Structure 1
């Protein structure tokens, strides 16, 4: 009887050690996945709460060919306050990234509150007569305005 119980005890102890090692690895993996999901969830929540609309009329002369300036009115239709600086806006006009972007909050506040409007002025834009596109991107939300210039 003693011959059978000693090998069984050794196998039992070995299986407990292996189970403890596997459990430790699984706990570490699950907590890593959980942390990654929490971080990604925060980013997704910010993107969901961010929404903008270009409220400029594409047929109302948004482009001044004398000063080569494109002026867009953009409304914050999302749920959170957004930074109103040229560096936070990505503006693409006719497939060209624009770097001369200035932003002014229309109602005079320092922050771009929900339901607030900003004036986005893109300077040094040389456009010929015809149809054009302006794309504004902020915090993952993008809007496109199609407009026509007359030369």
Structure 2
């Protein structure tokens, strides 16, 4: 009879060791998943809080106004978070081509791009032919498209 008790004890201890190792593996996996969800929720929060509106009139001359071949757009921060005043994180495409020569100019002297502030976005797009053109602004997951004619 003692041998049965000993074998049961060995099986019980072995099952406890297996259960502990499985629980440790699950705990580590759940912690990694929790970290990933926290990071994703922060990214989604920034995307939801970021919103731009291009307030330039499509009928007004936005291209080559000063004779330098630039596109100049008025862009308003309608989101709930302040944006970098230098336009960091602003991606610009003109007719599907990524633009690297882009600068942001605050209209007001406070040099900020806070909620409800308007800035001028200058894009050196080179020479554009006659016809319709599209400018796409992307910042923090928000996308705005502006169509104009030269």
Class of the TM-score when normalised by the shorter of the 2 chains: over 0.9
Give the direction of change, closer, same or farther, for the CA distance of 1:7–1:77 in structure 2 (3 Å limit). Answer: same
Paired residue for 2:9?
Answer: 9
User: Given the two structures, how large is their TM-score scaled by the length of structure 1?
Assistant: 0.93
Match runs of 1:17-96 below 5 Å: 17-64=17-64, 66-96=67-97
C-alpha separation in 2, matches of 1:2 and 1:19: 26
Question: What per-residue deviation string (whole Å, max 9, x for no partner) do you get for residues 24-68 of structure 1?
Answer: 111111011101111111111011100001000111111117321
The total of aligned residue pairs comes to: 149
Cα distance per residue 1:95-146 (max 9 Å; x no partner): 1111111111112222200011010011252111111101111122110001
**Structure 1: gaps spanning 5 or more residues:** none
Query: Distance in 1 between the 2:122 and 2:45 partners?
Result: 29
Is this contact kept in 2: 1:70–1:125, CA < 8 A? no
Query: Which of structure 1's runs of 4+ aligned residues deviate more than 3 A?
Result: none
Give the unaligned 5+ runs of structure 2: none
Aligned-residue CA RMSD in angstroms? Answer: 1.3
Which whole-Å deviations, capped at 9, do the CAs of 1:2-37 have from their partners, x for residues lacking one? 121111011001000110111111111101110111
Distance verdict in 2 for CA 1:97–1:60, change over 3 Å: same
